[in-house]
Amino acid sequence: MNIKEFHRKKYEILQKFKGKKIGVLCGGTSREREVSIRSGNKVFSALKKIGLNAKLIIIEGDFVGEILKEKIDVAFVILHGKPGEDGKVQGFLELLKIPYTGSGVLASSCGMNKIISKKIFIASGIPTPPAVFIYRYENIEEKIKEIKKMGLPVIIKPKDEGSSIGVEIIREENNLKEIIKRKREEYRDIIVEKYIKGKIVTTGVLGTGKEAFALPVLELRPLKREFYDYYAKYTKGETEFIIPAELEKETYRKLQEYSVMAHRSLECKGFSRVDGVVSEKNEIYILEVNTLPGMTELSDLPAEAEKAGLSYEDLVLFILNTIFDENY
């Protein structure tokens, strides 16, 4: 369903959910808990505003008991990080036969795992920066040799964290071993990726399979930080948002195309946000797919949707309706 069709059928879509209890699942136990609660509160308010029966469920730890207790008919999942973005909650909801928004178990777990998703991008012909994967059991010295061949600077990331948590740029060779050891002790498996200097871009994707489409591309310019880190993401006034992104016409089109390809390659459902960078040589690189992107007042996806003609409430209803998508 495209945006024009959504507006034409909005009343009909709304009627599908009248009388159903919609549980907004947020919180969780990850480092993104507070952001998830902010997203959850915004989604909950939007559902109430459009006249639907919503219940805010802030997950504390025992998501099994907390979900069972509320006896919900539909779940709007907005849990950033674990246990919602890695597929655990989705698996439980499927066992209960509760329809839910967003990607399924496989797409969620693959999207959360930056190593697996990068391997899928490469196999799918999607441009992505070169990288070295360092698992907890591997020899660091051997991996450093691979990194040196790739060339510095590099950016180091945990395998399965979001919101730029644990991300660090390494410019000096003599810092490599110490930082890798520290990161692996904290996060176990890590990814060391070639740092691409350029424009930070992000593209929301709505829909599923053949009906998936890209929203306007958003360019992110941190005003005081070296890159788009956690502080720049969630602190008002720290980042300049440019929409549509200031890119050459063909680059812009190709970036949207690759973003939809990335969404489809992981078999994402309903909505996602694809992060990338356009180098100073105008080369496109896809970094990762966020299967449960932020929905706060500062988040990228709602801003992109608004530019495309969907208000925040419209976006929430659009996402809710994608539980019926079967277009893989």
Q: What is the pLDDT of residues 159-194, one digit of tens each?
A: 887 656 778 888 888 888 888 888 888 888 899 999
- For residue 237, the model assigns a pLDDT of 67
The answer to whether residue 236 scores a pLDDT higher than 60 is yes
Higher pLDDT, 215 or 168: 215
66 catalytic? Reply is no
234 catalytic? Reply is yes
Q: Given 117, 290, 299, 321, which residue is catalytic?
A: 290
Q: Given 86, 288, 300, 314, which residue is catalytic?
A: 288
Long-range residue pairs from 40-44, CB within 8 A, at least 24 positions apart, any chain: 40/78, 42/295, 42/296, 42/297, 42/312, 43/76, 43/78, 43/295, 43/316
294 catalytic? Reply is yes
Give the separation between CA 80 and CA 161, rounded to whole angstroms.
9
Give the separation between CA 302 and CA 174, rounded to whole angstroms.
42
325 catalytic? Reply is no
Local confidence band at 232 (pLDDT 50, 70, 90 cut-offs): low
The answer to whether residue 327 scores a pLDDT higher than 70 is no
Give the separation between CA 1 and CA 189, rounded to whole angstroms.
39
What mean pLDDT is reported for the chain? 91
290 catalytic? Reply is yes
273 catalytic? Reply is yes
Say if residues 121 and 287 touch (Cβ distance below 8 Å): no
Mean pLDDT of 34-52: 96
- For residue 57, the model assigns a pLDDT of 95
Give the separation between CA 13 and CA 200, rounded to whole angstroms.
35
